[in-house]
Amino acid sequence: MPLEKRFEPESTQPFSTSSPSENKQLKTAKSKSPTKSSESESEPEIATSPTQASKKESKKTELKLITAEEKAKPDSNENFLNALFILPFNQRRVIIFRHAERMDRVFPAWIRQSNSNGSYRPYNSNQPSKLPKRQNGLSAYDSDPPITEIGKIVAELSGKSLKKNHTKISAIYSSPAFRCIETAQIIAKESGASDLKIKVENGLFDWCSFYEIPPTFITTSELIDAGYSISKNYRSFVSKETLYKEWDSETKYDYYRRSHDIIHKPVILTSTIGTVIIIGHATTIDSTSRALLELSKSIPPTHILDRLADRYPYCTSVLLEQSNQNGQWRIGKSLLPITFLNQTTKYDKQFLLRK
């Protein structure tokens, strides 16, 4: 079953907008002030009435407010936009993505047709030019496929959308499925968070009953050898052994419980302030979003789960934010959808919020 995830609090200091000439004037004013202050220090204190004191205090407050307001003035449109997207000190957000277009859905026989004496040779421009080397060769991709070139483009647009919104990402979590890790890497790069290591969480994988046999997931060493930015220190909450052990027996209720447990883990959402990116599957979006929103445990019937991808298309995303007042999660302003002929990344909000 699917899932996924984080940032340092931004400075709350107002933007400095003083020009060089203004700074010069301030320095001149400061150089004059010592004489005045030394004179006032030699004068005896004069008792003031409560009214006079309050007037003085009011005047001081007014001056402070004006100073703060002046400092907060944006000196450019860029700073103004940055100010709009600064999160409150203790604000948390999570954006849950579905992976990009998967290869085997577009080319069901791609492994056989692209196999040239054991080597991968693409036969369509929508197929990746090369693939990471894996222990079992091309056959390893049979249960753990990559994304298409079109999928990469849509993932790039998703990452750029995050960058345009000045989204400061604190952590990125991904399902162990290669298509999710690929999507995570692209989104991280295009959003300006390429310095972050992707944390692979096995508990974010899809509902096991969708698969006849457990996938052979790509290993951390294979990913790093292929140039992927993967955290070697992150310890997955759910081990692969546990996932495989429960493969044949996991019910849809077990899956939604797994998703609920993962999304509420302190290591994912409560240890870091900022925006956490999670890359998973269609089921990931439905199960984890509803868990955070504390909606009723309305788990769709199996025939609806089979078509859940129609509700949450490739690269769709749901943005959730936590209230500073009561700590509850709510749906935030979504990223602009990406739409092209017969395709969109817009999700079915009515279905997500079903009773």
Domains of the chain (ranges, CATH numbers): 20-72 (no CATH), 84-352 (3.40.50.1240)
263-293: burial string, b at 16+ Cβ within 10 Å, e else: beeebbbeebbbbbbbbbbbbbbbbbbbbbe
Q: Which two tokens stand for residue 311?
A: 């509700």
Q: Residue 244 pLDDT > 80, yes or no? A: yes
Tokens 């309050």 -> residue: 54
Q: How many CB atoms lie within 10 A of CB 123?
A: 10
Q: pLDDT band for 58, please (50, 70, 90 cuts).
A: very low
Q: Which of 75-84, 168-177, 322-331 has the lowest mean pLDDT?
A: 75-84
Determine the average pLDDT of the residues in 19-26: 41
pLDDT tens-digit readout, 269-313:
555 678 999 999 999 999 999 999 999 888 999 999 999 999 999
3-state DSSP call for residue 38?
A: helix
3-state DSSP call for residue 280?
A: strand
Tokens 């994304």 -> residue: 147
Determine the average pLDDT of the residues in 155-164: 97
Q: Residue 52 pLDDT > 90, yes or no? A: no
Q: pLDDT band for 324, please (50, 70, 90 cuts).
A: confident
Helix 282-293 with 252-263: angle, nearest 10 deg: 60
So what's the pLDDT on residue 269?
A: 59
Q: What is the residue-averaged pLDDT of the chain?
A: 81
Q: Which of 158-162, 172-176, 183-187, 265-269 has the lowest mean pLDDT?
A: 265-269
Helix 178-190 with 149-164: angle, nearest 10 deg: 40
Q: Which two tokens stand for residue 197?
A: 């290591």
Beta strands in the chain (DSSP E): 92-98, 115-116, 119-120, 169-174, 198-200, 274-280, 317-322, 329-331, 339-340, 343-344
Q: Residue 148 pLDDT > 50, yes or no? A: yes
